[in-house]
Structure 1
């Protein structure tokens, strides 16, 4: 498959979902809670529906796994060599707290690896995308598109962290890095900040699911970065258990 040939259409799908999300974000929306007590809003559902419809118009042969449609049995998923992996809204807490740092994420997975990803930040009016091996790009709030690349770190590492998930294990890991500066970011924007050279490393020693990381993982790979588990293994997708192991995202200098 020539990923670059379908990338513009995937960006259009993400933009359409972002418009729906932003309309609800700017309204007086209600917050409900799933069985695991994670928040969900009408924006999650609306984004899911727009993305699924849009991706099916691109290719009806590629199956779709979404956070809001995750009840597909393993016996079916285990045969997927290529599939779309989407998070209609990553950072729902950022959405409900109105920080603006939530994202819409679409990834294409092939043989367990992210090969293409699109990440939009509707409230910030930013978007990132990339095809692994072909480069990563950012569209800023003015609409200008430019290529992005991970930075070579200076002596003091810029460590990107989450205000909602900065636990003690993560703090201890950060302390091992020596001189550092904390860079706050929400949702999958943490990976994108590294991809565009505004941060150097993101340790995640807490729970995430495959759809939380896949799209931005592809962008980071396309920008020259990497993600590895604490055991030095690449982060894989399409597992029976959709939980990710703990990992570190950074430019290639770290690994």
Structure 2
């Protein structure tokens, strides 16, 4: 049986996450310039990466190596373990040094840093920083979600036609195709929809009640582990495409307030 993690340890890890994120924030903001587009290169499938992604990755990992040398890091830009190993590892950090790289490179301030600590694949500490917006969000399992000192609560919207939905999808053809179908399907039934291009922003805004749900295709643990905890601790749901609680390895995630969750999932699963 897995041992329980006491509250004091979780809060200590949150403090460590804050320290590590601070190193990343400083590096990212130093290179985010509204006057000039950041240079970038291409990874697989047309996905871009900037030198800042790698610099922030190294800054955060350096801090984590110093403060938690026994806990491996799984990161989009290179870490100690793969995404497939997270669920098999007692404790692991999941890091996305710049989520929303396309926005970052284009000088759009909707990007951020995501860091979560997972215990046997379950997020227990999550931190999302949106440096350009000067916002920081955090959650600890069993202790709620916060933006700074302000406690977050998911929205109470119960009717789909009154809801605001967010959409996001990855770079693979299957994820693009499904994402576009979801936009078409939901746009006819909701009050409004938005495509923001950053999972960290979408998770934070669903947790804060600014949006009612979000559907993301082609996700990885580093994209959404912190966000999943943030939404759940705000009273919302973070499910995979089969309606089960999201876990590392699931390629899609549906963030939603509790009242809309079943309706959103039902429409998501429609065949046409």
> C-alpha displacement at 1:29, in angstroms?
3.6
1:234 match:
245
Q: Within 5 Å, give how 1:212-227 maps onto structure 2.
A: 212-227=223-238
CA contact 1:103–1:121 (8 Å) conserved in 2: yes
Runs of 5+ in structure 1 lacking a partner?
A: 140-144
Scaled by the length of structure 2, the TM-score of the pair is: 0.81
CA contact 1:183–1:199 (8 Å) conserved in 2: no
> C-alpha displacement at 1:28, in angstroms?
6.2
| CA separation of 1:113 and 1:79: change in aligned 2, threshold 3 A | closer
Whether 2:205 is the aligned partner of 1:193: answer: yes
CA deviations over 1:129-153 (Å, ceiling 9, x no partner): 10121011113xxxxx311111111
Q: Within 5 Å, give how 1:1-255 maps onto structure 2.
A: 1=5, 2-26=9-33, 29-69=38-78, 72=81, 79-139=88-148, 145-153=149-157, 155=159, 156-162=162-168, 167-175=179-187, 178-187=189-198, 188-204=200-216, 206-237=217-248, 239=249, 244-253=250-259, 254-255=261-262
Scaled by the length of structure 1, the TM-score of the pair is: 0.86
CA RMSD of the aligned region, Å?
2.5
CA deviations over 1:63-85 (Å, ceiling 9, x no partner): 11111115846896664122001
CA deviations over 1:130-177 (Å, ceiling 9, x no partner): 0121011113xxxxx31111111154011123499794321244157x
Q: Which range moved further: 67-76 or 150-159?
A: 67-76
SS at 1:252 equivalent: coil
Residues paired across the two proteins, number: 243
| CA separation of 1:74 and 1:137: change in aligned 2, threshold 3 A | closer
Bigger helix fraction: 2
CA contact 2:116–2:127 (8 Å) conserved in 1: yes
Runs of 5+ in structure 2 lacking a partner?
A: 171-175, 263-272
> C-alpha displacement at 1:210, in angstroms?
1.7
CA contact 2:74–2:82 (8 Å) conserved in 1: no
